[in-house]
């Protein structure tokens, strides 16, 4: 039975995901810049580029949120608190960490948070 989590593997997964996100954010900003520079010759094009800008904005907002979670997880790896729920101090389930390596809460606390209880 494999109960322990492989912290080295976790770090690699976090760092890989982090690099992917940073690449994605950079690309989204590039697209935004191109849209602005190109201008919009008619109403249909303007609507499209407004939509694209909005989309790339919310994308980078989500991504920067995830990026923060990943940075926090990497910090917890450094200070030896990785895998400990930030709310109750209990152990986060290894299956959960395998699925979501940047998880901050155990399953019980995550459910509370989803319901707005914490």
* Site of interaction with Zn ion (CB under 5 A): 85, 87-88, 90, 106, 109
Q: What angle do CA 90, 109, 91 make, to 5 degrees?
A: 20
End-to-end CA distance of the chain: 33
- Helices 7-38 and 43-78 cross at an angle (nearest 10°) of 160
**Shortest Cβ distance from residue 93 to Zn ion (Å)?**
10
Residue 14 vs 92, nearer CB to Zn ion: 92
CB 43 → Zn ion: shortest distance, Å?
A: 51
Taking the C-alpha atoms of residue 9 and residue 62, their distance in angstroms, rounded to an integer, is: 24
Q: How many of the other CB atoms lie within 10 Å of CB of 97?
A: 21
Q: Which is nearer to Zn ion, 14 or 103 (CB)?
A: 103
**Least distance to Zn ion, CB of residue 88, Å:** 3
For Zn ion, the closer CB: 10 or 106? 106
């Amino acid at each position: 039975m494999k109960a322990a989590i492989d912290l080295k593997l976790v770090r690699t997964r976090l760092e890989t995901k982090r690099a992917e996100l940073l690449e994605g954010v950079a690309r989204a900003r590039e697209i935004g810049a191109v849209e602005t520079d190109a201008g919009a010759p008619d109403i249909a094009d303007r609507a499209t580029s407004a939509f694209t800008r909005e989309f790339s904005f919310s994308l980078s907002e989500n991504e920067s949120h995830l990026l923060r979670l990943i940075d926090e997880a990497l910090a917890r790896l450094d200070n030896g608190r990785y895998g400990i729920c930030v709310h109750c101090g209990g152990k986060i389930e290894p299956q959960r960490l395998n699925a979501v390596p940047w998880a901050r809460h155990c399953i019980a606390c995550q459910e509370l948070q989803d319901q707005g209880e914490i």
